Structure 1
Amino acid sequence: MIDFYKYQGTGNDFILIDNSKDDFKANKVDYAIKWCDRKFGIGADGLIFIEPSTKGDFLMDFYNPDGSQSFCGNGSRCSVAFAKFLGIIKDQTNFEAIDGMHQAVISDKHVKIEMQQYGAIESIGNDHFIDTGSPHYVAYRNGVNENIVEYGKSIRYSDRFKTKGTNVNLIAEKGDRNIEIWTYERGVEAETLACGTGATACGISFAQKHNIDKGIIEVKAQGGHLRIHLEASKNDKVYQNIWLEGPAEFVFKGVIEDEN
């Protein structure tokens, strides 16, 4: 039997398992596919193992519901909250993820993590392609009328992206430094209520579009509110000092009666 914990960050929900003693021996990909299933499993947007790290306080080992791996912003925030619950960290940490090291700060139920932009913003017509640890296609649709799942699939399975996939985001501009987003996630292959790397990519895209040098972009995802802190670098298509901030909350604890 294996204890698991369910956390959510703005509607992005995750199964978290304490593997700090490195004693989990089962196939993690199989576990992710089985237990993230919302009909026959626990149901989640991802499975996360908290593991030992030689580089930081802990390693976040994240799996999408299809068993693939990528960096996950909201999953990272939930991992930080869980690591504090386990007593591994206090209110600040430096942790390891698939894309490298990240700093994080906890304040009450909010977790703020350091994010990265990999490579310059790529313009595709009026849209953007941005890598924030996971790849994101960003399009602007004020008064959104597209079905995000249909639109997302049309981009994710297009000739350019069908092999490796991409996440797809629609943005509606709501005012000065204020946007609403809808996200289709690869690996989940559906709409999710929020996406940390997606919110970050959308914040970067919006800042670049409106020549914002520094500050906070308020992001309303379908599951709640996130804040993107950023500042421009010497390269006008690359941002730095990027932070993702939002709530990360415990939902419930359970036991998986399955062989390890």
Structure 2
Amino acid sequence: MNAKYPFTKMQAVGNDFVVLESASWPETADWAVLAIRLCDRNFGVGGDGLLVMGPSEVAEVRMRMFNPDGTEDMCGNGLRCIARLSYQRGLFGGGGAGGPAEGFVETLVGLRKVAVREEGTITAAMGVPEFEPTQLPASVPPGIQKIRDYPLSLEGYGEIRISAVNTGSTHSVLWCDALPEDGHFFALSPRIENHPVFPERTSVLWARVAHKGDAGSPALLELRIWERGAGETLGCGTGACAAAAVAVAENRVEGDSVLVRSKGGTLQIHTRGAGHAITMAGPAEVVFTGFITADD
């Protein structure tokens, strides 16, 4: 006999998700299998990932995110979606007199504090970026303390240079004067994602500095994004944090506020450099709701 289970479709700067609330699903639900099925854009609901929202013993809510290939990961845009939905469900305190409603979300990489404003902006504390190879993780020769402007060899192509950082998920940043065209992007991005230097794979961020920043305006980065386990996406929250962190570390931008623009929209990142936590601010919204029919 078939049963119906509710879902919510959400998006944050074009990064779209199928959101399931675990209380409405059987305890035996296999989230990884559901991610593969539901994220399929031809035979499922379609999405860049599956978000599972559930109770937490240490926070107001717990978030899990599964890529379309079923692997579990951290997701910054997904975090803002869960924050928005939690706010709508009345799980966060505050929010009076025009102030934000605040709370904590338990994630794969620890607790993340979020603040939701009625006008739509959601701010999230994203933790301290990790540059050490063991924290990425990355397999590099002993003595290399950070993967910064690191030569990566691709058979049949040659050498590219990357800077890698973990902002809850592993990212490799490739600086370019112009964002790549489709042929270059789709040929090289999956090869970098699956390069043996990264045993758990890496997302790939093609980045350019559109504005270095000055006293009158924040820096602006432009990205084209290839996410591990998902392919090209319109936006990536942890990726925006990664690009900003690398840009600041390499003195490519001025100031501690960086706008990061991708195909789906713009996020505002605040970072004070190495050893300091990053905050991310941007929107998230419900697109539609529905029901999924499944066997009991």
TM superposition score normalised by structure 2: 0.81
Equivalent runs, 1:145-160 vs 2, <5 Å:
145-146=180-181, 147-160=184-197
**Structure 2 residue ranges without an equivalent (≥5):** 94-100, 133-145, 152-160, 214-218
What TM-score comes out, normalization by structure 1 length? 0.91
Give 1 or 2 for the bigger CA radius of gyration: 2
Q: How does 1:211-250 map to 2 (within 5 A)?
A: 215-232=256-273, 238-250=274-286
Equivalent position of 1:235 in the other structure: none
C-alpha spacing 1:8/1:86, structure 2 compared with 1 (3 Å):
same
CA contact (8 A) 1:21 1:51 kept: no
Which runs of structure 2 are paired with 1:243-258 in the superposition (5 Å)? 243-258=279-294
Mapped contact 1:22–1:51 kept (Cα < 8 A) = no
Q: How many angstroms apart in 2 are the aligned matches of 1:211 and 1:182?
A: 18
Q: Deviations over 1:190-218 (max 9, x none)?
A: 21000111110000111112276852101
Contact 1:15 / 1:46 at 8 angstroms: preserved in 2?
yes
Q: Is there any run of 5+ residues in structure 1 with no aligned partner, and where?
A: 233-237
CA distance in 1, matches of 2:123, 2:295: 35
Give the aligned partner of residue 115 of structure 1.
126
Paired residue total: 253
Report SS of the residue matched to 1:144. coil
* Alpha-carbon distance between aligned partners in 1 of 2:57 and 2:255, rounded to the nearest angstrom: 34
CA RMSD of aligned residues (A): 1.8
Give the letter aligned to residue 259 of structure 1: D
SS in 2 for 1:217: strand
Residue 141, structure 1, aligned to residue 176, structure 2: yes
Equivalent position amino acid for 2:122 in 1: V
What residue number does 2:114 align with? 104
Q: Indicate if the aligned counterparts of 1:62 and 1:70 stay in contact, CA closer than 8 A.
A: yes
Q: 1:173 aligns with which of 209, 215, 223?
A: 209
Give the structure 2 partner of residue 200 of structure 1: 241
How far apart are the structure 2 equivalents of 1:40 and 1:11? 20
**Any conservation in 2 of the 1:148–1:191 contact (CA below 8 Å)?**
no
Residues 1:31 and 2:66 are matched in the alignment: no
Distance 1:96 1:20 in 2: 16
SS in 1 for 2:130: coil
Provide the identity percentage: 29
- Equivalent-residue separation in structure 1 for 2:103 and 2:185 (angstroms): 35
